[in-house]
Amino acid sequence: MIRTLKKILTNLFVLSLTLVILTSCTKKDAMSKAPSVKDIDNKLKEEINLSTMAIGDSEKLEKLYDINLEDLEEFLLYIPKSNIEANEIGIFKVKDSTEIDNIKEKIEKRIEEQADNFKDYLPEEYYLIENSLLKIKGNYVLFAISEDVEQIEKIFYKSFK
């Protein structure tokens, strides 16, 4: 009976230890898969020609998207250098996941405004707007109006691996 009890206790200890190890590894893996916006930006710069775009600051973020900087942990914004181009790229790391839908709505409003601006004016740019990209992954929101939306999306998702 004592041997059986020792075996049971030994098995329980081994099982508990295994669960602790597996749980701690899972948490580390999940945390390491959250890239900084700067890391994503570096990968974009390596693979995408961004020379026709300017970097947007918090003032442009507020003016163009009506997004409050305080809702974001980090952000990256590329905007066109000229008002006859529609190219834009935005990566937003939201502080509070409850704000994601709000951020998404503001970006959708920007897409609608740009579509209205370019619809009859520059059909090539309107086409880019109509084929824009808006994706959410965790607390990240990716937005792109570009000829390179497929490549931008791949770079974005690859950053989490």
For residues 75 and 90, the answer to whether their CB atoms sit within 8 Å is yes
What number is the average pLDDT over the span 106-131? 94
- What region, left, alpha or beta, does residue 22 occupy, with left being phi > 0 and alpha being psi -120 to 50 degrees? alpha
pTM (predicted TM-score):
0.78
C-alpha to C-alpha distance for 159 and 89, rounded to whole angstroms: 16
Task: State residue 85's pLDDT score.
Answer: 94
- Buried b / exposed e along 142-159 (16+ C-beta atoms within 10 A): bbbbbebbeebeebbeeb
DSSP string, 79-139: EESSTT---EEEEEEESSGGGHHHHHHHHHHHHHHHHHHHTTT-HHHHHHHHT-EEEEETT
3-class secondary-structure state, position 28:
helix
What number is the average pLDDT over the span 85-107? 96
Does residue 88 surpass a pLDDT of 50? yes
Task: State residue 17's pLDDT score.
Answer: 45
Does residue 60 surpass a pLDDT of 80? yes
